[in-house]
A and B are shown apart, each in its own frame.
Chain A
Amino acid sequence: MSTSHIVVLATLLGFAGCCSKASSPPDMTGPLTHATTFIQDGQSTREQVLLKLGIPSRQFEAGRILAWRVRTEGAELVMVSDYPAGDDPRYNTWPASSRGFDLIVVFDTHDLVQTHNLVPARR
C-alpha cells in the first residue's frame, strides 16, 4: 500500500467518526395504529385517553376534538412537540420526516370517544 493510499484511508476514517449516519424515514403508520388500539370508539372515556396520552397538542370545538402529535419509538407511543426545534430558525428547514402523525380523537357529549384517526402531520 502506497503512502498516498494510507493518507486517503486515514482521512476518510477520520471524517467517518464525525459524520452521522443518514437513514430514510421509517413508515410509522403501522406501528402507530397498533400503539393506539387502546382507544375504543364508543367505549373509551376522555379521562382514559388523557391518562394514557398526556396533554394534547391542540384542541378544537371547545375540546370536543383533541389532537396529539405522536410517533413510535420501538413499540412505545411517544408524544412529540408540534413546536419546531432543532434546525437553524433562520432557515425554514424543519424536516418532513420528523413531523410524525397527528392522532385526532373526537368525543361525544358524554366524553366518550366517538371516532379517532391518524393523519400525517402538516405543520
Chain B
Amino acid sequence: MPISRTLHLLVLIISPLSAGCAFTTISPPVSDDHVRQRWLSSIADGRTTREDVQQLLGEPAFRFSNDRILAYRLILSDRNTEPSNDEYLKEWDNDHLRNEAINARIKRISEGGALLSIRDANEGTVRKLILLRHAEFGLLLFFDGDGVLSQHTFSRIRGG
C-alpha cells in the first residue's frame, strides 16, 4: 500500500474519533460571585436583620443557639417547581448528552434561575429538582442579641 493511501486511511479513522472529542465547549458554571450578586445582594453584616433574611429566603434548614445562628441549604436551578417525570428525564438526557443543551441551561439559570431553600420539610417534594440542581450552597448567618447579622459565610457544597 503506498504511503498516501495509508495516510488517507489514518485520516479516515482518526477524524470520527476526534469529532467525538471536539464537540462544543461547555460554558463555565454559574460563579459563586454571580449567585451572591443576583440572589443574595441584600445580605450585609451589621445591617440585615433575621426577619429580612427569612423574608428573602424563607425557612432555614437549621436553627441553632436560640435562633442566633440560621443555616440555609440552597440549590441553584433553572426552575422553582418540581418537574414532571417526563420533564425530568428529558432534561437529564439533554444535560448529559448535549453540550449545547448544557450551555443553554447555564444561560437560563444565570439570567433567570431560582435559588431555593431546601430543608427536611420540603426535601421530599423537590427530589427531582435536587437531582437536576446546577449547584448547591451553604449559607450560615450569625446574629447579635438585637437580631442583626454580625457575620455570615457562603460556600459552595461540592458534588458527592
Which A residues fall within an 8 A CB radius of B?
Answer: 3, 6-7, 10-11, 14-15, 17-18, 46-47, 50-51, 54-56, 59, 63, 69, 78-86, 88-90, 94, 98-100, 111
* Residue on B nearest A100 in the bound complex, by CB: B160
| B132-150 interface with A by 8 A CB criterion | 133, 136, 138-140, 142
The answer for the CA separation of A98 and B159 in the assembled complex, in Å, is 9
- How many of chain B's residues have a CB under 8 angstroms from any CB in A? 36
The answer for the CA separation of A20 and B104 in the assembled complex, in Å, is 26
Residue B18 interfacial (CB < 8 Å):
yes
Please list 10 pairs of residues, one from A and one from B, whose beta carbons are closer than 8 Å in the complex, sorted by A's number: A6-B6, A11-B17, A14-B18, A50-B140, A54-B140, A55-B61, A83-B131, A83-B136, A83-B160, A85-B131
- Is the beta-carbon distance between A10 and B131 smaller than 8 angstroms? no
* Distance in Å: Cβ of A6 to nearest Cβ of chain B: 6
Which B residues fall within an 8 A CB radius of A?
Answer: 1, 6, 9-10, 13-14, 17-18, 20-21, 61-65, 69, 71-73, 89, 92, 96, 130-131, 133, 136, 138-140, 142, 153, 155, 157-160
The answer for the CA separation of A107 and B6 in the assembled complex, in Å, is 71
Q: A18-B17, A55-B138 are in contact. List 10 more A-B contacts (CB 8 A).
A: A17-B21, A46-B64, A55-B61, A55-B71, A78-B158, A79-B158, A80-B158, A80-B160, A81-B160, A89-B92
